[in-house]
Amino acid sequence: MKIRYRYPAMILVALVVMLAAVFAQNQTYTPGEFQSTNPNYPKPDPFYFEGRIDWNLLGISQPQNAWDYMERGIHYQDDMDDIPDAIADYQTALSMNSLQNNTCQIVTAATVNKYGGTLPAQLTPAPCIFTLRLRLGYLLEQTNPATAIELFQEVLQIDPQRLGVNTLIAETYVSEAQQSTDPTTQQQDYANAVTAYQAELALSPITPQSVALTGDMANNSKVHWELAQVYEATGQNSLAESELESYMQATQWHSDDYPWRVALAKSQIQTLQMAVK
């Protein structure tokens, strides 16, 4: 190429390249690579994430550990309505996070400081997962109540103060009692249910402070309602009446999912009072 054409050509090429570069810059912007690890997959530190993470966000092609199996089980249960596969995954998860085969532990001690205490990043074996036990136990309540109760009791080993677990135990005993034809077994199941319900109430007691702060003279209406039904079923009418009174107090400012129960409780109290007289 003659020299007189060379530079104009180079300038032309340079301008084309430059304009192309400018044009390209206007289309996208990359400030830095988005983090390399999946922000939705939690690495235990040292406790597992308890609860549910949307399965599509986890990027798990094949579950590798107890938590992975639990999350897939939740996906089957919540998203696919596939209870058999959910139970199977929960059971696999449990086999990998089990007190019986020492693949999990109950954490009972930690170095506590004012902000939250200190724990190593990893515990060996790993901490036991309570969501797994609650989910599997719930699905086994009707078909295998004994195992369900064992699982719920393991949750109480992990966290004795977790609300609602004693209620699940009680409900399982009530279910067993209702299915039983043996009066002795039935009485024992109901007695166990009462014990569990009372343990639930003890976790959130009415105190002078709570009354002053809330005005509530009773709480946990669901437990009071259920206890009343148990007492009524076992012929303990005065206790049933007492629980219904507590139910009325607990619903005063909170009503109920089933609001007709409030009117029914009032009616039942009158009936029980007449029966006692």
Partner 1 sequence: MRVRYVNAFVSLFLLCALEPGCGTQVQSTDNPPDVQFKPQQFQRPENCLPCHQRQYDELHGAVKSGYRNVSPLFNGLESAGNLVSGGLLRPVYHDSTIVLPDGTVLNTNMYSSPILTETRQVQAGFCFTCHNADVEILGENPALREVPQLAGLGTCNPAPPAGQQCFQPQQFRPLRDYIMVDSNGNQVLPTAPGGAPPNGAQPSLAAAGITCDFCHDENGPDLKRSFQMDGFGNASLLFNQSDVKVGPFQFPVAVKGGFHVASNNQSLVAFLTAGAFCNTCHDVRVPNRNLTAEEHNINQGGQNVSYFRLENLSTEWQIGPYNSTSNPFSQVVRCQDCHMSLFPYAGTSTYQVGDMTVTSPTPGVFATDYAAVPGVATDQDAPLPLRKVVEHYFTGVDVPLMSPAELSSRLGPNYPDPYATGADTHGVPNGLATRREDLMKAAVRISLKKSDTSAQLGQKFTVRLEAVALTGHRFPAGFSQERTAYVQLTVKDNNGFLLYQSGYVIDKPHPNTGEMTPDGNLNDEDLEHLHAIVDPGVHTATYTSGTGTNGGNNLVFEVGPDDGPDARVYVGAPEGLVLFRNELTHIFLPGQPIGRTDPSTGAAVTAQGVHFEETFQAALANSVDNFRSLQPLQPRTFDYEIELPTTQQMQAIGVTVQGPLHVHAQVNFEHFPPLFLRFIASVTSASGPSGNNLNLMDEQRIDTYLKNVESIASDDATVALTP
Residue list 216-245, contact with partner 1 (CB under 8 A): 216, 219-222
Residue whose CB is less far from partner 1, 1 or 121: 121
Residue list 86-115, contact with partner 1 (CB under 8 A): 106-110, 112, 114-115
The footprint of partner 1 on residues 169-198 (CB under 8 A) is none
Interface with partner 1 includes 212 (CB under 8 A)?
yes
Nearest approach, Cβ of 173 to partner 1 (angstroms)? 17
CB of 33 to partner 1, least distance (A): 6
Mapped onto helix, strand or coil, the DSSP state of residue 228 is helix
Site stretch for partner 1 (CB under 8 A), options 38-46, 94-102, 186-194, 232-240: 38-46
Q: To the nearest whole angstrom, how small is the minimum distance from the Cβ of residue 135 to partner 1? A: 5
Which one of 101, 142, 146, 254 is in contact with partner 1 (CB under 8 A)?
Answer: 254
CB of 188 or CB of 252, closer to partner 1: 252
User: Is residue 69 at the binding interface for partner 1, with CB under 8 A as the rule?
Assistant: no
Q: Which is nearer to partner 1, 161 or 184 (CB)?
A: 161
What is the rounded distance in angstroms from the CA atom of residue 48 to the CA atom of residue 274? 54
Residue (39 or 183) nearer to partner 1, CB:
39
Would you count residue 246 as binding partner 1 (CB under 8 A)?
A: no
x/- binding map, residues 112-131, to partner 1, per CB under 8 A? x-xxxx-x-x-----x--xx
Place of tokens 């009707």: 142
Q: What residues contact 87, with CB distance under 8 A and at least 6 apart? A: 73, 136, 139, 140
Residue 90 near residue 67, CB atoms below 8 Å: no
Shortest Å distance, C-beta 142 to partner 1: 13
Residues 6+ apart with CB under 8 A from 152: 133, 134, 137, 165, 168, 169, 172
Nearest to 183, CA basis, from 226, 242, 235 = 235
Radius of gyration of the chain, Cα coordinates, nearest whole angstrom: 30
| Among 5, 51, 183, 274, interactor with partner 1 by CB under 8 A | 51
Nearer to partner 1, 194 or 269 (CB): 269
Does the bond joining 46 to the residue before it have cis omega, within 30 degrees of 0? yes
Cβ at position 185, least distance to partner 1 in Å: 25
Size of residue set near partner 1 by CB under 8 A: 101
Q: What's the N-to-C CA distance of the chain in angstroms?
A: 120
Cis peptide before 125 (omega within 30 of 0): yes
Tokens of residue 269, six digits: 């109290």
- Residue 153's SS3 state is helix
Maximum CA pair distance of the chain? 122
